Structure 1
Amino acid sequence: MSGDATRNGIEGLLHRWHAARAAAGGLPAYEDMVLGNLGRMASRTALVGGPPGHPRLLWVGEAFEGWLARPGADLPLKDLALDDLPGGLAQSLREIVGDVLAGAEPVRAPCTRVAGGVAYTTGMLGLPLATRGAERLVLLCLAGATTRTNLLKTLFRSTRQGMVAAAAMRDGAGAVRDFRVLALNDAAAAMLRSTVETAQWQRLTTLLPHLRGSAALAHLVAAVEGQTGGYEASYPRPDGTTLHLRIEIAAIGDLLGVTLTDIGDLKAREASARLLFEHNPVPMWLAGEDGAVLAVNDAATAHYGFPREDFLSLSARDLAVAPEPGAAQRHRRRDGSLIDVEVFSGPIPFEGLSATLTACVDVTEQRRAERRIAHMAHHDALTGLPNRVLFHRRLAEAVATGRPVGLLCLDLDHFKLVNDTLGHPAGDALLRQVAERLRACLPADGLVARLGGDEFAVLSALPSPALIGLADAIVAALGRPFALPDHQDVTVGASIGIALAPEHGEDPDVLLRKADTALYAAKAGGRRTRRLFEPAMDAALQGRRALERDLREAIAAEALEVHYQPLVATGSLAVTGCEALLRWRHPERGFVSPATFIPVAEETGLIAAVGEWVLARACREAAGWPGGVRVAVNLSPAQFRTPDLVGTVARALAESGLHPARLELEITEQVMLEETTANLAVLHQLRALGVRIAIDDFGTGYASLSYLRVFPFDKIKIDRSFTAALGREATAVAIVQAVIGLGASLGMTTVAEGVETEAQLAALRRSGCGEVQGFLFSRPVPATELRRLLGEAAAPWTAAA
């Protein structure tokens, strides 16, 4: 949405909230504010609810989830840590939700997260709501564009320390003779009595001629050669004044980072140094030429845990663990604990003696955070395995050696079903156990990584036969049941694709692509197996991509067709409705089976747009049928993830003029497996439009009976596998009769799919089935032919049709 559209949407939300509160005399109701009322703002919103003190994200719009940078549905807000929402978002969201619930008023506040040295700030609006069951909810909405602030540039410009970046300049013999200033901040330019524009790109000895042959230049040269550190020095300025500096140098190859700290004021205020020393919050002490501590401030005694008398009996060297020159050191406190410190020291007169003032900054937590960030940048937070970035680097290094190396790409079979049925915590527990089993299978020289989701990769220098054996061992190991906490054992299995270097290529990306192509072939070949890459696999993959491309073109050109299969009353054989079924007549391929192109549409995300088109076309066609004939349209799970499914159905009815009672929406168990508050709310909103809701393929899922408990369907469609078994399997009749009886007791119509014989029809009649559908009556036909059949079926339908 544009900035103006977002602002208008936010103001509209606030206006509706205040109006609803005035009308209700209390908090506006969730049902009045949210259900069907968010419109284009739905993508930018999230709903928070749950028991007091334990808020959770109940549902999350697409733009809001993109802003979170991770899946958000059912995310708990109370115990979020850095790993869950990095950069401070967790604390911001908790505070906004807490303020909204505490004040029962709208709250606007910025949410800021930090990533890669950049602060991303987004306005957030929180609205308190209540349900008709008195539950307290909070509607969160992204209230504006995200602003970016480069923290490194901000710090670089704002610090009072001079900061200079320089590059070494070498002579023909390779010796460093000078340095070129690449960048500097305003503070450094002021110290040099210059400007940033004047000093940048200058040779250092041109900018400061007195440096030629000086100790200062020697320090810089030594830093390039690996002798980094810090020192204090004084330099004459062009205007005749003296610049007293503390200089810290860091080198990466021929590049230098120099930090300049002006200590002229310190030297000018030696008389007040003791007061500054004693009350300074930074641990500090003075040491004589022999290293014995002459004085120590309160901050040092408190931080290190030594009484003053004990501290004064120490030598500065007694605190250091394996003391090394330079600012970064490790010290031991009185209790034995170790801390990382940055040590700053310099000469200072003390009671007529030459002494050294030392100040220590405890950077233990900073170093720990840096190590953690470095690890997180190259490892998966869930499993601790190397991530895609590190694995790609290791693969490139292995290929570069020229020695044979094998690459295994694998993913879990039906992992999504575990997440959908048992929840994401169970899925996470499964992934951790998968990582453990992969580590156990790996040879000593092997590397295993998690590339993302349920995708893993293995790198090994085993010869080809042993590599195939490793793949078989992994398939066997991951095929054994997994014991998940609070759940029964789960079995998933894995498919593996294998590529070899240099046989299949020497480019890491090419090898990954070929291993992925072999993985696709393994999955297409029945899963729970492995495939070694073959050139023919590329052709098969190209064929699938060509099919996807053709499907996109067919959708854009509206070249798909909707055919219709009649539903017949079992007793009278009168047509009661027709199911809309998608068909594709390709100019070169001929009729493409839905079993071929529907999975492609689902995998590529095209199914939502196609489903909306089928719905509109079916409603327009059904509006011209006899008044008692309904149309049934399938809704895919992907359509439930769109922000305005209810609006889409309402528009299809309004534009076609079809009465809502003549539209029947069929859903699969996948929608119910995602049994979220949002999905159930959408089903109730669709019911409120006046349409009928049917559950398709009943009896093939894991918990079909539970679906009937959470939502009162109008119709149950018995899967064709049970119809086909009638007359062949004694249990089939019992199951069909049980489903029909259950439907009758709940006031639901039952439909049997796949009726192809008179014997099946007779058995279903005896069982009391309400409607039937199948080739015995008609195959799916185009709309023109259906209109002819409906005209001929004004009398009861005959099986001969």
Structure 2
Amino acid sequence: MPTYEDLVLGNLGRMASRAALVGGPAGHLRLLWVGEAFEAWLGLAGAGVALDDLPGGLAQSLREVVGDALTIGEPVRAPCARVSGGVAYTTGMLGLPLATRGRERLVLLCLADEAARTNLLKTLFRSTRQGMVAAAALRDATGAVHDFRILALNAAAAAMLRATVETAQWQRLTTLLPHLRGSATLARLVSALDGTTGSFEGSYPRPDGSLLHLRVEIAAIGELLGVTLTDIGDLKAREASARLLFEHNPVPMWLSDETGAVLAVNDAATGHYGFPREDFLTLTASDLLAGGGPAPGGSGPSQRHRRRDGSLIDVEVFSGTIPFEGVTATLTACVDVTEQRRAEQRIAHMAHHDALTGLPNRVLFHRRLAAAAAAGTGLLCLDLDHFKLVNDTLGHPAGDALLREVAERLRACLGADGLVARLGGDEFAILSPAGRDGLLRLADRIIAALGRPFALAGQDVTIGVSIGIALAPEHGDDPDGLLRKADTALYAAKADGRRTRRLFEPAMDAALQSRRALECDLRAAIAAEALEVYYQPLVATGDLAVTGCEALLRWRHPERGFVSPGAFIPVAEETGLIAPLGEWVLRQACREAAGWPGAVRVAVNLSPAQFRTPDLVGTVARALAESGLAPSRLELEITEQVMLEESIANVAVLHRLRALGVRIAIDDFGTGYASLSYLQAFPFDKIKIDRSFTAALGREATAGAIVQAVIGLGASLGITTLAEGVETKAQLAALRRSGCGEVQGFLFSRPVPAAEIRRLVAAAAMPWMAAA
């Protein structure tokens, strides 16, 4: 029987000589049969040899071809190389996967083309960018080596010598580099023949005059030298550039050794630190470090340094190692960031402090409150009374000066304990560890301190302060919750008449919610014009004829019924709603009075808050013009609060109103503490005696005396007097006897709607005349 190999390989004809058959279990592949040409390519008798035992790198190449063919089950082609005697033999290898009936897997390898021969030494010799030279020693008659002849060199070496391989080969070394004659470099080359190896750097003039900077590495074998040349011209140029950059850099720099001793320093460093160069070179890097400060010394990038004059600077340090004159040195560069640090500190301070007063702002205060609330603290919320008047009348510079002075007085009241902050506008807050009683005493000190006059813009200005107090943890330990409760207590203090303090009570929350609901409803009512103007007659005491009517605002709430003006007017004043509301009442009253008999006037109340609006006089003038009402028929009533808040500015507004031709009356006279002084400040047309004095007539002798005195004062000044709250005939009789000019009260009429007042003033006789 013929063998498988004879049967199959015999059919390959002359290609069988270039083929080999590989088989066996995975990991133990062998050459089962090898053709003559394939065996010649292998360089050994290969039949029966395991692939892993093949020399010269063949094992790896053939394993990959066989493995790929078996894996993909298709023919593969790949280059294979073997090395022998410094020569690489490379050919294309074809791998054909086969299988026997017994399912044995085989691969037929076939040389696909002729092997290429490559001299590896020549390839390496030519491929490097380093210059490579083989030179033989030349000896004189005494046997001393005096030169070297170049036996071989690569193109890189020829280029360095400004020659070609052909012109440089066989030349003497000193012919190409004449400068080497008698030089230390030639001596080093000669000494290498004794077995001394190593490397050195040097600079050599070439025949064309250019300078060659080389690193030279030497190895000797007998009389032959192997020299490797590396052109370091670019490196030398970079070193020169680096030195120039170092010496003339505006950033302070120095070089130090491994001990920290300074090896070199640039002009910027000597100038910035104030040391002469010779002194700086005696320092070590640690000599510049200063203890303390935000970045004391250390090896980090942020450091604090001390200059020669003792001043401290903050610097950012950048360092790295570089070669310097044959040693490894540390290059240190320092950027002075002192001003930057100061600016950052200023910015950080500004972010947490009020720019005007220097006090902590809301952000910092909230952070401190959060920390203190858990441990227990007292919180005071302060709101200045009538601060807006200062800004409106004296200007914002005076307002700013007032806030700064308030801050100083608060600091003085608080002392070292606690924290005072400005939350914004005229709102301040205080944290204090004092207990309940201590906080109440502190609040009283603050009210007294801020109640003293402030000297502003050449005049004394008196304001006040309202204070709300909350306690942690009694009222909670949540910062926002505590602030809300202190604000609620502050609102209660304002409602009590200002210039006072209130400690938070749970019932205040309900009152605040009720007040907020009332405010919401009032806004809606104003928007819908759901409020009404009622009128109450003003009656002459002589013939009891109607001389005028007072316009009074009424609010009929759909659920609450009639809401007392005493409940919703303060809400309108505090929220600023009083300005549009007061303007609306004025227009309604003027329009209504324009249809009354010509002798009947209309009286309209002006809130102190309306005097803070920028165009009160214009508002009155427009209401008169739109309605056609004669100015003399309009009587504007003000309270003593208008005179109290800012007498100079408000008196000026009153004179401008008087110039329109309207009449000015002072309401609720006698209830203030300086009422008589108001009559000197402005010539009022009418004094309205407060209803509390009228009610006491006949019951309290002092009330009668006060009423008599006011009426007499009015008569002497030519001012009409009117008594409010007249409800009985006896009160009317007493007022007539005292000489009071006009009266007003339920004895004559309650406030009535516009339609009813029209009928009343148009009647020939008043219904109360017969009864009175």
Q: TM-score, normalised by structure 2?
A: 0.55
1:456 aligns with 2:429: yes
**Within 2, Cα distance between the matches of 1:359 and 1:761?**
99
1:474 aligns with 2:450: no
Q: Over aligned residue pairs, what C-alpha RMSD do you find? A: 4.8
Question: 8 Å contact 1:475–1:494 — kept in the other structure?
Answer: no
Find the counterpart in structure 2 of residue 666 from structure 1.
637
After the TM superposition, which residues 591-610 of structure 1 pair with which residues of structure 2 at under 5 Å, given as runs?
591-610=562-581
For residue 433 of structure 1, the aligned residue among 395, 409, 412 is 409
For residue 611 of structure 1, the aligned residue among 578, 582, 591 is 582
Q: Aligned pair in 2 of structure 1 residues 798, 417: CA closer, same or farther (>3 Å)?
A: farther
How far apart are residue 791 of structure 1 and its match? Answer: 2.6
**Within 1, Cα distance between the matches of 2:661 and 2:237?**
86
CA deviations over 1:3-38 (Å, ceiling 9, x no partner): xxxxxxxxxxxxxxxxxxxxxxxxxxxxxxxxxxxx
Q: Unmatched 5+ residue regions in structure 1?
A: 1-266, 461-465
For residue 292 of structure 1, the aligned residue among 256, 262, 287 is 262
How far apart are residue 606 of structure 1 and its match? Answer: 1.8
How far apart are residue 595 of structure 1 and its match? Answer: 1.0
CA deviations over 1:707-761 (Å, ceiling 9, x no partner): 67776655554555566677425872586257526743xxx65555445566766
1:588 aligns with 2:559: yes
CA deviations over 1:477-497 (Å, ceiling 9, x no partner): 445556566599989676544
Find the counterpart in structure 2 of residue 732 from structure 1.
706
Q: Radius of gyration: which is bigger? A: 2
SS in 1 for 2:514: helix
1:372 aligns with 2:346: yes
SS in 2 for 1:781: coil
Q: Give the partner amino acid of 2:530.
A: A
SS in 2 for 1:627: coil
Q: Give the partner amino acid of 2:579.
A: A
Question: 8 Å contact 1:347–1:356 — kept in the other structure?
Answer: yes
Question: 8 Å contact 2:541–2:741 — kept in the other structure?
Answer: yes
After the TM superposition, which residues 585-734 of structure 1 pair with which residues of structure 2 at under 5 Å, given as runs?
585-642=556-613, 644-672=615-643, 675=646, 686-687=657-658, 689-697=660-668, 714-717=685-688, 719-720=690-691, 727-729=701-703, 732=706
**Within 2, Cα distance between the matches of 1:558 and 1:700?**
33
How far apart are residue 553 of structure 1 and its match? Answer: 2.9
**Within 2, Cα distance between the matches of 1:709 and 1:361?**
72
After the TM superposition, which residues 90-239 of structure 1 pair with which residues of structure 2 at under 5 Å, given as runs?
none
Question: 8 Å contact 1:498–1:530 — kept in the other structure?
Answer: no
Question: 8 Å contact 1:580–1:632 — kept in the other structure?
Answer: yes
Q: Aligned pair in 2 of structure 1 residues 430, 398: CA closer, same or farther (>3 Å)?
A: closer
How far apart are residue 598 of structure 1 and its match? Answer: 0.8
After the TM superposition, which residues 5-20 of structure 1 pair with which residues of structure 2 at under 5 Å, given as runs?
none
How far apart are residue 624 of structure 1 and its match? Answer: 0.8
Report how many aligned residue pairs link the two structures: 517
Q: Aligned pair in 2 of structure 1 residues 596, 285: CA closer, same or farther (>3 Å)?
A: same
CA deviations over 1:289-324 (Å, ceiling 9, x no partner): 3443734436x5665455666556544433331312
**Within 2, Cα distance between the matches of 1:703 and 1:661?**
28
How far apart are residue 411 of structure 1 and its match? Answer: 3.3
**Within 2, Cα distance between the matches of 1:499 and 1:696?**
41
Q: Give the partner amino acid of 1:294.
A: A
Q: Aligned pair in 2 of structure 1 residues 743, 349: CA closer, same or farther (>3 Å)?
A: farther
For residue 388 of structure 1, the aligned residue among 351, 362, 386 is 362
Q: Unmatched 5+ residue regions in structure 2?
A: 1-235, 292-296
Question: 8 Å contact 1:575–1:793 — kept in the other structure?
Answer: no
Find the counterpart in structure 2 of residue 328 from structure 1.
302
How far apart are residue 625 of structure 1 and its match? Answer: 0.6
Q: Give the partner amino acid of 1:317.
A: S
Q: Aligned pair in 2 of structure 1 residues 734, 558: CA closer, same or farther (>3 Å)?
A: same
Question: 8 Å contact 1:385–1:435 — kept in the other structure?
Answer: no
How far apart are residue 626 of structure 1 and its match? Answer: 0.7
Find the counterpart in structure 2 of residue 262 from structure 1.
none
How far apart are residue 638 of structure 1 and its match? Answer: 3.5
**Within 2, Cα distance between the matches of 1:714 and 1:395?**
54
Find the counterpart in structure 1 of residue 526 from structure 2.
555
Question: 8 Å contact 1:382–1:432 — kept in the other structure?
Answer: no
After the TM superposition, which residues 758-797 of structure 1 pair with which residues of structure 2 at under 5 Å, given as runs?
771-792=742-763
**Within 2, Cα distance between the matches of 1:332 and 1:793?**
101
**Within 1, Cα distance between the matches of 2:377 and 2:636?**
50
Find the counterpart in structure 2 of residue 498 from structure 1.
470
**Within 2, Cα distance between the matches of 1:794 and 1:297?**
109
Comparing both chains, which one has the higher relative contact order based on Cα–Cα distances under 8 Å and sequence gaps of 6 or more? 1
SS in 1 for 2:572: helix
How far apart are residue 563 of structure 1 and its match? Answer: 1.5
SS in 2 for 1:728: helix
How far apart are residue 601 of structure 1 and its match? Answer: 1.4
Q: Aligned pair in 2 of structure 1 residues 570, 279: CA closer, same or farther (>3 Å)?
A: farther
SS in 1 for 2:589: helix
How far apart are residue 628 of structure 1 and its match? Answer: 1.7
Q: Give the partner amino acid of 1:320.
A: L
**Within 2, Cα distance between the matches of 1:585 and 1:407?**
43
Question: 8 Å contact 1:755–1:774 — kept in the other structure?
Answer: yes
Q: Aligned pair in 2 of structure 1 residues 367, 759: CA closer, same or farther (>3 Å)?
A: farther
Find the counterpart in structure 2 of residue 241 from structure 1.
none
Q: Aligned pair in 2 of structure 1 residues 606, 500: CA closer, same or farther (>3 Å)?
A: same
Q: Aligned pair in 2 of structure 1 residues 413, 549: CA closer, same or farther (>3 Å)?
A: same
**Within 2, Cα distance between the matches of 1:332 and 1:419?**
51
Question: 8 Å contact 1:722–1:736 — kept in the other structure?
Answer: no
**Within 1, Cα distance between the matches of 2:727 and 2:738?**
17
Question: 8 Å contact 2:468–2:493 — kept in the other structure?
Answer: yes
Question: 8 Å contact 1:475–1:529 — kept in the other structure?
Answer: yes
CA deviations over 1:611-652 (Å, ceiling 9, x no partner): 122112111111111112221222334434445544543443
Q: Aligned pair in 2 of structure 1 residues 601, 523: CA closer, same or farther (>3 Å)?
A: closer
SS in 1 for 2:702: coil
CA deviations over 1:202-240 (Å, ceiling 9, x no partner): xxxxxxxxxxxxxxxxxxxxxxxxxxxxxxxxxxxxxxx
Q: Give the partner amino acid of 1:368.
A: R
SS in 2 for 1:658: coil
Q: Give the partner amino acid of 2:442.
A: I
Q: Give the partner amino acid of 1:331.
A: H
Q: Give the partner amino acid of 1:614.
A: V
CA deviations over 1:22-69 (Å, ceiling 9, x no partner): xxxxxxxxxxxxxxxxxxxxxxxxxxxxxxxxxxxxxxxxxxxxxxxx
Question: 8 Å contact 1:415–1:427 — kept in the other structure?
Answer: no
**Within 2, Cα distance between the matches of 1:707 and 1:349?**
92
Find the counterpart in structure 2 of residue 65 from structure 1.
none
Q: Aligned pair in 2 of structure 1 residues 751, 729: CA closer, same or farther (>3 Å)?
A: closer
